Structure 1
């Protein structure tokens, strides 16, 4: 089927920008660890609004023990409430990361679990989109996969960037430097250790500035994204134009 060419750029096909496309349910309904996810949501229900920083690095994101200890130290120093979805590196390149079998004390700095028990929760897999939608979440430490960015902005949650692989460093650069919607822990992907000082600084900046300009800008962008999908919004109109073109070619 032939599409009508864009008159502004002769010889090139038109582009119909639709979205953002966000799965608001996620895998919470079918994932085998639904009971664990429900316990996380119940814990969030007991926390004040916008008080919790959420750390999650995606389905392929994992952390070795040295990095776990640096993050734990940084979180404890930052002093805020936290929810940390923690996964163990896969044993081979063909496998996906798994949850740590036991979140025992020797994985963390001595006494970390006991000292943070009243304000922090470390868990395995959770439905990221369901957590970001919760009113207790006030910030998101993310690997900056594009789905994660779309979900976070949709729910008005500011991001602290920590890209791990692929195009994530480009996504991080865009939301920090070009759009001003995030704070930086790291902008470049790499295998070097992110130190506790960097984690503490990034989390403090993310959460302490949550009621200021950053959160305001993210909320404004969230509203724009939602309006785009409403009738006469630009995404709605783009999809309508595409349908009309397709029907005209039938």
Structure 2
């Protein structure tokens, strides 16, 4: 029996690693001819990545046909830059030699055993397109795992075309009222919902274009979405070259390897508190692995929650020092940044936490709404569990996701859709308590059209993953193509 080995290269950071491991698990579960080696690149001071992979290896949900190799740290060789897209690019570029050596060792090991699988290709993250060079050295195809939406992929291709064919630089689009039409979007897309890195930073925009330019060199693009969710793109969008495989929603539904500073006890305390709340009564506030606010904005969120009277579970994180590429952390004393007496006054209806076991919280029957940064993983989880979102994007492509959810799909309400530190002044960025409260009340409305649409899309997301569903079928097609492409 012909066996195939795939080398997965996720970009640094827990957000991309989680969904990468889940697609790896899906592939090996579907076809016992496949094995996967995941090459893990870490960021400075990123303890979560190591803890997560260790938890995955220790869990019963992983198979022996998935292995992990932690690549050596190369941070000392990477220049200090504040632009995160450029920093990622430099870190990944610096790992090319380590990747080449790791794959060479893998091939030598497999060649020593006639029953071992043969290298069939690379599956790289959307930010790791430089690794196409290494795949070419080994004469194997590259597939890309795209962890954002199909809509944003189309946007990326469109901006690349504007630059290459019309010499339009995205850094020239940062005019407040600029809009442009996409062939597969109903509404014109405002420039202000694009990531700040491609609007305000020529160096960063160039790095992003370099990623995107190479997308078309891949054999196929595996997209974490499902056709029923982004049907506006039309079937023609999924028949492009390279081939697109919408196989989502891809998530760690068990939540069995989620990592938090408080570990099991912290998770148990949160779930116990939710167990005591009425059905669909709690609004959950969480802004992702890199989402945090200054103290004035934290107080405004607190005022909104208290005035709304809605039951709440708030994942409150402390921002890293300015100018450092690092992750937010839990507050040791959250009362120091909250309004005086807030914790005491809201003790009966609310709970302030640090790290959050997000999948378990969204899956809980008490959770009725989600104030979210609109990261694509979080968006898919929220839809899957039928929890409507109030949008408050913070960074990366989250503003675009918020626009897609609110304007294109009608699956979310808006707190802010264009929250962007680089586009507005500090005073314009400030979201007042009234605006936050309005969003919370709206997302918690029990009989709203948005809640009904989210419930319907939740059912479609589950059907897509079942035998005969759209994503199930696309995964089969991907496996067939991988096996048929082996030389």
TM-score by length of 1: 0.91
What do the CA deviations read for 1:132-171 (whole angstroms, capped 9, x no partner)? 1111100000000000101100100000000111100000
Larger Rg belongs to = 2
**1:29 Cα deviation from its structure 2 partner:** 5.2
Structure 1 counterpart of 2:377: 147
Distance 1:249 1:44, change over 3 A: same
**1:115 Cα deviation from its structure 2 partner:** 1.7
Structure 2 counterpart of 1:50: 280
**1:244 Cα deviation from its structure 2 partner:** 2.2
Q: Is the 8 A contact 2:391 2:417 kept in 1?
A: yes
**1:210 Cα deviation from its structure 2 partner:** 2.7
2:331 matches 1:100: yes
CA distance in 2, matches of 1:18, 1:238: 6
Matches within 5 A, 1:207-218: 207=444, 209-218=445-454
Structure 2 counterpart of 1:65: 295
Structure 2 counterpart of 1:14: 243
Matches within 5 A, 1:1-250: 12-26=241-255, 30-34=259-263, 35-92=265-322, 93-104=324-335, 106-191=336-421, 192-207=429-444, 209-250=445-486
Q: Is the 8 A contact 2:261 2:355 kept in 1?
A: no
**1:247 Cα deviation from its structure 2 partner:** 2.9
CA distance in 2, matches of 1:37, 1:188: 32
RMSD: 2.0
Distance 1:94 1:245, change over 3 A: closer
**1:28 Cα deviation from its structure 2 partner:** 5.1
Tell me which stretches of 4 or more aligned residues in structure 1 moved more than 4 Å: 1-4, 8-11, 27-30
Q: Is the 8 A contact 1:56 1:86 kept in 2?
A: yes
Q: Is the 8 A contact 2:413 2:439 kept in 1?
A: yes
CA distance in 2, matches of 1:215, 1:54: 15
Higher relative contact order (CA 8 A, sep 6+): 1
What do the CA deviations read for 1:42-89 (whole angstroms, capped 9, x no partner)? 100100110000000011111211011100001111111000000111
Comparing 150-159 with 10-19, which one deviates more in the overlay? 10-19
Structure 1: gaps (5+ residues): none
CA distance in 2, matches of 1:154, 1:54: 16
Number of residue equivalences: 245
Q: Is the 8 A contact 1:27 1:127 kept in 2?
A: no
